Amino acid sequence: MKVAVFSTKAYDRQFLSAANSSTQHELVFFEPRLNRDTAILAAGFPAVCVFVHDQVDAPTLELLASGGTRLVVLRCAGFNNVDLQSAANLGITVVRVPAYSPYGVAEHAVGLILSLNRKIHRAYNRVREGNFSLDGLLGFNLHDRTVGIVGTGKIGLILGQIMKGFGCHLLAYDVYRNPELEALGGKYVELPELFANSDIISLHCPLTPETHHLINTEAIEQIKPGVMLINTSRGALIDTLAVIEGLKSGKIGYLGVDVYEQESELFFEDLSGEIIQDDIFQRLTTFPNVLITGHQAFFTAEALYNIAETTFANITDIEQGRPCANEIRI
């Protein structure tokens, strides 16, 4: 199948080309993101392959359909950037990669926890400047602390397993209970109880209307003072302005995020020579107890390999008329 691949970086070309050697689809790589302005590039392509910040809204889908596209292939798990109803109305099939690196994301969350707690990022810069003072670098033992995990699918479970290894107590919240987490000793509670009793809160749930701004002013009022808040899931789970107020008041003691609700204008690009216009993001970077990474939690060799393999398996299933387990239906 002829596939237009949008939002491509060098690493995308490397892993997708390698995985395609056995399937022999015709790939054409485009650096721009897919949106209503760039959809013309996909004219004549039966399929488009897109990533998290491509805008697959109704106008874009209409342009794709008019150009002959009948398949949207997401090389990611999230699909909140796709208008699924419009796709269905236009007869466009949408498939995704539901899981590709649960270990990578969970391990990155732990990396944020350790770095924030022991101020590793600050200590690194001090030592490079010849400053070996320990003032301001005091941390705490993770052993015997309580970790609240919001969302206990594959990633949340793995985070629970790792934190259990540190000797932490586990609280959990999810619409569906995971018996494997309960077997670790994890206790399912309602969100107010999790907020009030957790020393560390880590978010691992999807972005839905119900979870949008899950961490808001009301939630911050309920949390344990000095809590560490970690988000490696979706940026809009957090109301950034509310979190900034929580940081200023000291209610939030630490913030580690790999995602940001307005990240589509920032992440995956080199903006080091530009003036960033997002004042809210810039405000976040001024706090010494905030650590931000640019949506890299998924970024492991294993993840990119799994994404590429599943992407082409999905394309081949659809091309050959087979049922595809990763098709998104409404």
Catalytic residue list contains 107: no
Annotated catalytic residue within 295, 322, 327, 329: 295
Q: What angle do CA 112, 6, 59 make, to 5 degrees?
A: 105
122 is catalytic: no
Q: Residue 197, class by beta-carbon neighbours within 10 Å (0-12 exposed, 13-18 middle, 19+ buried)?
A: middle
227 contacts: CB under 8 Å, gap ≥ 6: 195, 198, 199, 200, 201, 251, 252, 253, 254
Task: Output the CA–CA distances (angstroms, integers) from residue 66 to 37, 44, 56, 59, 60, in the order listed.
Answer: 14, 9, 14, 11, 10
Which residue out of 25, 53, 213, 263 is catalytically annotated?
Answer: 263
Residue 96 is among the residues annotated as catalytic for this protein: no
Catalytic residue among 75, 96, 145, 234: 234
- The residue ranges of DSSP E strands in 99-235, in sequence order, are 146-150, 169-173, 187-188, 200-203, 227-231
Residues labelled catalytic:
234, 263, 295
